[in-house]
């Protein structure tokens, strides 16, 4: 298989574009891209090139909560802000962070994948009123180019996922892993990845590719016979060995599809490979197929394992009801340092402490059952203290 590290990295390509741009327009200190996920209405930071201090990364927001950008997307037009100070009292965190970083003017360009919004390209300057008619005319080609570079970087992953989704759809009647489960699991994985990325030296692109590839973790189950895959009781030793073989089969399928589509060497393909290969490895080395332990297990696989088990526990099955969030998190924490990476579990608990996320899940994921929201807040504080062995952050806010 071609080594994905040999392909040009998107951030390197963007840095080249930025350097070229600054030859004529030295006042443009930052070029950044946020990509849009219509299924969740989420706008997430993805890649940037910044001269000087980076104002923020690993940030996401609902597009509906940023009306000015939502209007640009609908109108399909660019926007110039001559003085970012107009956003000083804005509730949007990214606006405040730009101001704190010394930026004073900006140019925003929405880009589209066919007719669907792909995201936004942002050009920022430390100079006020920098984006004159002459500068904007110069940026016309660059803004289009950056949008195309991003779409081109995402295309292999999306193409591969689409191909695998078709394969899974053909066998969906055999498996309890419904599309809703996979969508939820992907979102949980993105939440965890966003929490741990900075401390693990990973960037926004890592988070997005974990989100794209996490639902493909159990692809190899398409090769497992119904009598084993759908069995409600305990598996025999022979059946367990056959079930565990889905990891190797999944790797074979991924490699075959990637080579067939000519994307085996594409950027971040290794993330998919690691998720499929290692999502059943355990933090204490008791997992399979290789018995990897601790940080020898790729980070993306450790993230996928927590997301997958949590959603499985909180989803209804023919042989049991869905667990509450409290009970499912309790089970995860019982196995902390054993089956699961403590950092990934802790990251998930921190994400659950966000009241906005709780509300979003209640509204859009009805089979996630919360016993009581006030009780959940207290439970998360206690749980955070246990796994951190110390006080939880913002404890008073959660108890309020």
Burial classification of residue 247, based on how many CB atoms lie within 10 Å of its CB (0-12 exposed, 13-18 middle, 19 or more buried) = buried
Please count the helices (runs of H) and the strands (runs of E) in the chain: 16, 6
DSSP-H helix ranges across 321-367: 325-334, 342-352, 355-364
Fold exhibited by the domain 171-399: Hypothetical protein af1432 (1.10.3210)
How far is the CA of 285 from the CAs of 215, 235, 291, 335, in angstroms?
23, 22, 5, 13
**Cβ-proximal residues to 79 (8 Å cutoff; 6+ apart), any chain:** 68, 72, 106, 107, 108
Residue 370: other Cβ atoms inside 10 A = 14
Would the pLDDT of 375 be above 70? no
Least confident of 260-264, 326-330, 333-337, 361-365: 361-365
Q: Are 380 and 349 within 8 A, CB to CB?
A: yes
Count CB atoms within 10 A of the CB of residue 48: 22
How high is the pLDDT of residue 235? 87
Residue 381 has pLDDT above 60, yes or no: no
Question: Of the segments 51-55, 228-232, 351-355, 369-373, which one has the largest average pLDDT value?
Answer: 51-55
Q: What's the confidence (pLDDT) of residue 226?
A: 79
pLDDT higher than threshold 80 for residue 396: no
With CA atoms as reference, report the closest residue to 77 among 106, 38, 120: 120
Q: What is the mean pLDDT of the chain?
A: 82
Contact 289, 338 (CB under 8 A): no
**């692109």: which residue's tokens?**
205
Taking alpha carbons only, the member of 172, 158, 286, 266 closest to residue 218 is: 172
pLDDT category, 292, cuts 50, 70, 90?
Answer: very high
The pLDDT score that the predictor gives to residue 93 is: 79
CB atoms within 10 A of CB 9: 16
Question: What are 180-216's pLDDT values in tens digits?
Answer: 778 888 989 999 999 999 889 898 999 999 998 898 8
Q: Which CATH code, of 2.60.450.10, 3.30.450.40, 3.40.50.970, 1.10.260.40, is assigned to 4-153?
A: 3.30.450.40
Q: Which residues pair with 336 in a beta bridge?
A: 340
Q: Kindly list the domain boundaries of the chain, sorted by start residue.
A: 4-153, 171-399
Q: State pLDDT tens for residues 231-261.
A: 877 888 999 999 999 999 999 988 887 787 6
Task: Return the pLDDT at 36.
Answer: 96
The partner residues of 116 in beta bridges, in order of sequence, read: 113
- Burial-class residue 102 by CB neighbours within 10 Å (0-12, 13-18, 19+): middle
**What average pLDDT does range 3-27 have in this prediction?**
79
Q: Which of 206, 229, 214 is nearest to 279 (CA)?
A: 214
Strand order in the sheet with 60-62: 60-62, 42-50, 28-37, 116-125, 105-113, 79-81
pLDDT at 5 over 50: no
Percentage above 70 pLDDT, the chain: 80
The closest alpha carbon to 199, from 298, 339, 299, belongs to 299
Question: CA 225, CA 83: separation in Å to the nearest integer?
Answer: 63
Residue 137: Cβ-neighbour burial (10 angstroms; 0-12, 13-18, 19+): exposed
Name the band, by pLDDT with cuts 50, 70 and 90, for residue 300.
Answer: very high
């Amino acid at each position: 298989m071609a080594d994905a590290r040999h392909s040009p990295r998107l951030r390197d390509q963007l840095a080249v574009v930025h350097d070229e741009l600054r030859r004529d327009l030295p006042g443009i200190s930052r070029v950044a891209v946020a990509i849009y996920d219509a299924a969740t209405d989420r706008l997430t930071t993805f890649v940037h090139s910044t001269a000087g201090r980076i104002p923020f990364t690993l940030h996401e927001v609902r597009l509906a909560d940023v009306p000015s950008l939502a209007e640009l997307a609908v109108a399909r037009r660019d926007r110039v802000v001559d003085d970012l100070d107009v956003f000083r009292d804005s509730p949007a965190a990214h606006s405040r962070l730009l101001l704190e970083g010394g930026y004073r003017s900006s140019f925003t360009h929405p880009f589209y994948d066919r007719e669907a919004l792909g995201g936004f390209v942002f050009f920022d300057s430390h100079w006020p009123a920098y984006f004159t008619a002459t500068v904007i005319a110069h940026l016309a080609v660059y803004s289009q180019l950056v949008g195309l570079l991003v779409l081109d970087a995402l295309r292999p992953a999306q193409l591969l996922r689409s191909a695998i989704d078709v394969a899974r759809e053909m066998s969906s009647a055999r498996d309890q892993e419904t599309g809703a489960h996979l969508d939820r699991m992907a979102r949980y994985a993105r939440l965890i990845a966003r929490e741990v990325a900075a401390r693990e030296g990973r960037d926004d692109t890592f988070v997005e590719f974990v989100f794209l590839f996490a639902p493909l973790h159990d692809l190899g189950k398409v090769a497992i016979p119904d009598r084993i895959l759908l069995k409600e009781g305990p598996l025999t030793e022979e059946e367990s060995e056959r079930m565990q073989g889905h990891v190797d089969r999944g790797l074979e399928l991924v490699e075959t599809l990637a080579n067939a589509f000519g994307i085996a060497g594409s950027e971040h393909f290794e993330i998919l490979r690691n998720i499929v290969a290692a999502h059943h490895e355990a933090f204490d080395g008791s997992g399979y197929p290789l018995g990897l332990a601790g940080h020898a297990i790729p980070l993306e696989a450790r993230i996928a394992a927590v997301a997958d088990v949590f959603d499985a526990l909180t989803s209804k099955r023919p042989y049991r009801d869905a667990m509450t969030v409290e009970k499912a998190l309790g089970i995860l924490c019982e196995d902390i340092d054993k089956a699961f990476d403590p950092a990934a579990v802790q990251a998930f608990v921190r994400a659950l402490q966000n009241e906005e996320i709780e509300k979003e899940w209640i509204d859009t994921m009805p089979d996630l059952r919360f016993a009581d929201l006030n009780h959940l807040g207290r439970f998360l504080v206690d749980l955070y203290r246990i796994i951190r062995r110390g006080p939880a952050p913002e404890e008073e806010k959660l108890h309020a």
